Amino acid sequence: MKVNFTNHPLIQHKISIMRDVNTGSKDFRELVSEVAMLMCYEVTRDLQLQSVEIETPITKTTVKMMPSCKMAVVPILRAGLGMVEGIVKLIPSIKIGHIGLYRDPQTLKPVEYYCKLPADIADREVLLVDPMLATGGSAAAAIKFLKDRGVKKIKSVHIIAAPEGVQVLNLQHPDVDVYCAALDEKLNEHGYIVPGLGDAGDRIFGTK
């Protein structure tokens, strides 16, 4: 199984609070955003910088800076939306696309209902974000969407993953780097991650 862990102690602590059934929507939403921001730090570790001449108050010097941003963050609606703010805080010029998918509760297969991506998405590195990677069906479908539109570099970023979901992505999209902050035990008979944190979308938006 090929997966990158972002297991900083602060991330682990925040996920533990998210897992707690007594954590309400306001705190849950803030924690999703904070964890996404901390994960973004690790996920962008391979970012290529360019040398730029600047002048400090003391002297001229050459420094390293990000070239004009060629990245996009694409949340899988709804729950992925919760991860966008934290990433945009770190990379303010990143473009944002949206892919709307929901998982049919009977078949557990993803159903598409929306897609709006930056016009030049094919030229951008994409951070696909969704807090939960369960069967992997939603992320695999979203990745296919992006590839069909010419995207060549994709990182699939999830807060909690099930081994089943990681395996599906490794198998169907071996070229995509998968990131997660926690790799849980398994899926239950309803396709929920165990121990997991329940339905991330409902907990972010307070819909249950």
193: which 2 tokens? 């991650």
Of residues 44 through 83, those in contact with ligand URA by CB under 6 A are 79
User: Looking at beta carbons only, is 64 or 208 nearer to ligand PRP?
Assistant: 208
Site for ligand PRP in 114-133 (CB under 6 A): 130, 132-133
Q: Is 81 helix (H, G, I), strand (E, B) or coil?
A: helix
Give which of ligand PRP, ligand URA, none residue 193 binds (C-beta under 5 to 8 Å, depending on kind): ligand URA
If binding means CB under 6 A, how many residues of this protein chain bind ligand PRP?
22
Using CA atoms, how far apart are residues 166 and 182, in angstroms rounded to an integer?
12
First to last CA, the chain: 34
For residue 81, give both structure tokens.
């939306």
Q: Is 82 in the site for ligand PRP (CB under 6 A)?
A: no
Q: Is 148 an annotated catalytic residue?
A: no
Our answer to whether residue 135 is catalytic in this structure is: no
Contact 180, 14 (CB under 8 A): no
Kindly state whether residue 79 participates in binding ligand PRP, applying the rule CB under 6 A: yes
**DSSP tag of 68:** S
Has 103 been annotated as catalytic? Answer: yes
- Contact between 84 and ligand URA (CB under 6 A)? no
**Contact pattern from residue 150 through residue 189 relative to ligand PRP, giving x for each residue in contact according to CB under 6 A and a dash for the rest:** ---------------x------------------------
Determine which one of 107, 120, 123, 207 is catalytic. 107
* Three-state secondary-structure class, residue 48: coil
Report the nearest approach of ligand URA to the CB of residue 80 (Å): 11
Distances (CA, A) of 110 to 106, 146, 173: 11, 15, 17
Cα distance between residue 87 and residue 38, in whole Å: 9
- CA of residue 203 relative to chain centroid, distance: 17
- Taking contact as CB under 6 A, which single stretch among the options 8-16, 43-51, 84-92, 195-203 is the one that binds ligand PRP? 195-203
What's the min distance (Å) between Cβ of 160 and ligand URA? Answer: 7
Q: Are 87 and 94 in contact (CB under 8 A)?
A: yes
Known catalytic residues are 103, 107, 199, 202
- Chain positions contacting ligand URA, by CB under 6 A: 79, 132, 134, 191-193, 196, 199-201
